[in-house]
Each structure stands twice: as C-alpha cells, then as structure tokens.
Structure 1
Amino acid sequence: MVEYLISHLWLLWTIIMFVCLILELSSGDFYVTCLAIGALAAAVSAVFHLPFWIQVIVWALCSVLSIWLIRPRLLRRLHDRQHERLSNADALIGREGTVIESVDPNGFGYVQVDGDAWKAVSTDEATIRKGERVRIISRDSIIVTVVRV
C-alpha cells in the first residue's frame, strides 16, 4: 500500500485535501480549507512527477498564499455585516422595558426586559420611577443605559 502511494503521490495529496475539507466542516474558520487548496496544488504538481520536496514546497506556498489572499474574501462573503443578527446582551440595545427599581440620576436601578432584570443607569437628570417604560440605548458589560420612552 505504501509503495502504491509513493508511486502515486497525487492520490496521497488528494486524500489529504479531502481530509482537510472534512475537518473544515467542524472548524468553520477557513484555515483548513486553505490547507486543502495547497494540497490540490501539490496534487497537480504530483501529476507532473515533480520531486516530493517540490510538492511539499508547492503545498506550503499555496497554503500560505490562500490564507493571505483567499481566506479574507471568504470571511467577508460569509460574515456580511448587513445580515448580522445580534445575540445575547447586544440584542438588548433598542429594546424597551419596565423599571422595576427606580433609576437614580447618579446611581443604579433595575429594568425588566422580557422577564430578565438588568442593572441600569440613566442619562436623565431626574429619577426614573418604578413602572415607567424605558428604552435601552447602550450597555457596558452587564449594566445597561436607559432613557425614558
């Protein structure tokens, strides 16, 4: 089997390419895809019966070049900012809630949004009383900044 692979190095590079593509399914960061692109280039060089050390250099160069040239384009295409959905605490910005503990001008209070209580500060000069509606305009860690609605 080893002798067969040594005489057919293109098959070895093809196997490496498919293993890299399968591994990419679990990572999703496109580094392993770039290694697969390098393995494809090495397989092409093996078809032309270039020495193994040249095939390894072709694999390394093509992998590095694809990380440098192709990966950024793939990431921009996949992670388009227009369709970005906010999650976790970032999704709170712009939402409305109810004050459950008065928010003093220079102190803290609590607001409830969708059943969750959040520590809040206000940009208003007056106290926001319990029961008033507020809108979250920003957050800093677990503290949200609110304004009256």
Structure 2
Amino acid sequence: MDGLATFLADIGQWAWIAWLVLIALFLVIEMLTLDFTFLMLAFGGLVGLVAGLLGLPWWAQLIVAAVAAAMFIFFLRPPLLHRLRRGEDPAKSNVDALMGLRGTALLDITQITGQVKLSNGDIWTARSVDGAPIITGTRIAVVDISGATAIVRPVTE
C-alpha cells in the first residue's frame, strides 16, 4: 500500500508535464482538423494545468479540466464557428448551382438519351426524370445531376 501512495504522490508532483503534453497534442490535432473541438480541449487542459499549479490534487485537476473543456465546447465553440463561417460566400456552386436551373431541350429527351442547353450557357446530356419523352424546344428544369448527365423535367410556364 505504501508503494501505491508513493506512486500517486509522484503523479501529482509531475502532473504539470502531462498537462503540457496534452495541451501540445490537442493543439497539433486542432491544426489538422480546424474544427475548434481540440482547441477547446486544449483550453480545458490549460485550466487543469492552472488548477495543478494552485495545488489541487491530480484527480481534482482532471475533474476541473473536464468540466472546463465541456463548458468551452458547449458555450465558446458555437459562437466561434458562427463568426468563422459568417464570411462564407452564400452563392451556390458546382452541382448545387445547377439544381432548379432552367433550360431548353436541344434534342428529344428520353429515359436513355437527350441534350439540353441550360440558361447559364452549358450544354448537357440529359435524361427525363420520369421516363416520359420531352420534345426538342421544350423548356426544362434540372432536377438532379447523375455523373455528367442532367436529370430534367418539363416546365409548364
């Protein structure tokens, strides 16, 4: 039993090194993920380090660090993510920008083949969404994209 008490006392004496290693590890992982989760865990580890420097036993340091990390994750991380994403471009791009885009059938469109010219000037191979034929000149709207083929439906305007 005396060996266990010595071991636990040694853990408490050198806990600050463990906190520094954990903080550094969390910061490295945060640099790879860029999601603020590991940054919040590093902040929790910093609070645990401060608790250890104030003389709390190692088990209390763990509890304080865990509670602080949870508080940071739930209360600090969401507003940080919101501020980070505030400057994003709201314009749709790539396939998302094609959804609902209007155009005209250049060739008859069936479930197997067809061709459309979209309002953005792109020409796509096309298929009918429900298998019903769409004749040349009909106004269409893009419903989905499957590979390099636009899945379209006729538009009645």
Q: Does 1:111 align with 2:119?
A: no
Letter in 2 for 1:129: T
Displacement, 1:61? 0.2
Instruction: Tell me if the contact between 1:5 and 1:11 (Cα under 8 Å) persists in the aligned partners.
Output: no
Q: Deviations over 1:57-109 (max 9, x none)?
A: 011101111111011112212222752453442021475655344358xxx96
Displacement, 1:116? 4.4
Aligned residue in 2 for 1:124: none
Structure 2 CA distance for partners of 1:140 and 1:23, relative to 1, 3 Å: same
Aligned residue in 2 for 1:48: 54
Rounded to whole Å, the distance in 1 between the matches of 2:11 and 2:153 is: 64
Task: State the TM-score, normalized to the length of structure 1.
Answer: 0.66
What is the aligned counterpart of 2:136 among 94, 104, 129? Answer: 129
Q: Does 1:65 align with 2:60?
A: no
Structure 2 CA distance for partners of 1:103 and 1:42, relative to 1, 3 Å: same
* RMSD, aligned α-carbons: 3.8
Task: State the TM-score, normalized to the length of structure 2.
Answer: 0.63
5+ unaligned residues in a row in structure 2: which ranges? Answer: 1-8
Segment of structure 1 superposing worse, 35-44 or 86-95: 86-95
Letter in 2 for 1:58: V
5+ unaligned residues in a row in structure 1: which ranges? Answer: 122-126
Structure 2 CA distance for partners of 1:18 and 1:120, relative to 1, 3 Å: farther
Q: Deviations over 1:30-57 (max 9, x none)?
A: 2212211110111111111210011000
Rounded to whole Å, the distance in 2 between the matches of 1:55 and 1:65 is: 15
Segment of structure 1 superposing worse, 90-99 or 62-71: 90-99
Instruction: Tell me if the contact between 2:116 and 2:123 (Cα under 8 Å) persists in the aligned partners.
Output: no
For the residue of structure 1 that corresponds to 2:56, the secondary structure is coil
For the residue of structure 2 that corresponds to 1:49, the secondary structure is coil
In the alignment of these two chains, the number of paired residues is 138
Displacement, 1:7? 2.6
Higher-Rg structure is 2
Structure 1 segment 56-95 matched on structure 2, within 5 A: 56-80=62-86, 83-93=89-99
Displacement, 1:4? 8.5
